[in-house]
Chain A
Amino acid sequence: MEEAAFSLQPFFLWMQEHPFSQVMLDNTWAQPIVQVMHLVALSVFAGAVLIVDLRLLGVGVVKTPLAKVADEAMPWMVWAIVALAITGTPSLMSLAMKQYFSPFFWWKMELLVLGLIFTFTIRRRITHTDESKLGPVWPKVAGMFSIAVWTGVAIPARLIGLFS
């Protein structure tokens, strides 16, 4: 294979060969424990995202002001992201070379970056704009886009483990 000008492969190799990865691989319970915690964190994250997205789409808790729904979901979403990162890192490190060569991993990571940027910029601005100024269309577009992007993160995430 021709050598790319910039490659993350050395970094993934470093993660794979890190002593921590060996600890993860040597302990039978390590992988299942981080997997199950990742999944619980994912559920909280999905709930905190969806309660706002459904509100944006006009089919959720519509009696509560949009900014209130978003503000109250925010801490759950942020802590869930922290928990997802903490529980995702051991999996990433100990299976680094598998991840590196999985197209699903890169598909997941690219959409994850897109989802995070969108959520903390455009979506955050929309949820904190006076609803009468937003009109009927943009909140729905934002809600649909959010659901689509995060579904697009979850699907390849599940597939990484199935195809290796």
Chain B
Amino acid sequence: MLRALFEMVEAYPSSVAIRESLNAYPILLTSHVIGMCVFAGLVMMMDFRLAGFGNKSTSITDVQGRLFPWQMVGLAVSIVTGVLLVYGQPMRFYPNFYFWTKNLLIALAGLNIWYFHTKTYQTVEQWNHDPRPPFAARLAGVVSIVLWSAIIIIGRMIAYPGLVPQWWLDLGLDA
């Protein structure tokens, strides 16, 4: 079913247009990296504060609130360019081990954000200025650093579709 969806998109004239354009791929990929720099860079600056690693002169709510709009700018650029990259070459990504692993990790990062904001962050006023926030906040920061680093690493590995476990290749998705 998923395969049918990817094959259907691949046949769209707009998908063909992106795929056959000489400039679309370099522009999208480069913009994806710029979006990543803004998003992941500023998320990590916030995570360093949460984890107690740095930026300690700034309150948690300030690091979170003042960087948030720019994180969203970076995220928006990353999502739009990322979706278009897949849209232009669906059947390149469909059989790619790292593409699916990256999406799984993004979902996990989303869960971490959701849990942090609905639970841990509720009591922020009590530890807003602590150079070393409580364990749950530090854990959320470290988990976020690990996950986003992994997403960047796995994302870059999409370019090496052959360097994957043999069992994945045995699935024969690229047939």
Q: Chain A residues in contact with chain B, CB under 8 A? A: 28-29, 32, 35-37, 39-40, 42-51, 54, 59-65, 68-69, 72-73, 75-76, 151, 154-155, 158-159, 162-163
Contact = CB atoms under 8 A, between A and B. Distances in A.
A154 B33 contact: yes
Contacts of B85: none
Contacts of B110: none
Interface of B: 25-26, 29-30, 33-34, 36-38, 40-45, 48, 54-59, 62-63, 66-67, 70, 148-149, 152-153, 156-157, 159-160, 163
A147 B7 CA distance: 40
Nearest to B66: A61
A61 B148 CA distance: 22
Nearest to B57: A68
A73 B55 contact: yes
A160 B157 CA distance: 17
B156 A36 contact: yes
Contacts of A61: 55, 58, 62-63, 66-67
A128 B4 CA distance: 58
B153 A51 contact: no
Nearest to A43: B40
Where chain B touches its partner, the secondary structure class is: helix
B56 A47 contact: no
Given A39-B152, A43-B44, A64-B62, 13 more contacts: A36-B156, A39-B153, A43-B41, A43-B149, A43-B152, A46-B37, A48-B41, A50-B42, A54-B66, A72-B55, A75-B54, A155-B34, A158-B33
Lowest 7 CB-CB distances: which A-B pairs, in order?
A47-B41, A46-B37, A46-B41, A68-B57, A43-B40, A36-B153, A47-B45
26 contacts: A37-B153, A39-B33, A40-B152, A43-B36, A43-B40, A43-B148, A44-B41, A44-B44, A46-B38, A47-B43, A50-B45, A51-B55, A54-B67, A59-B66, A61-B55, A63-B58, A63-B59, A68-B57, A68-B58, A72-B54, A72-B58, A73-B45, A73-B54, A76-B45, A154-B30, A154-B33
Contact of A151 (B25, B34, B57, B63): B34
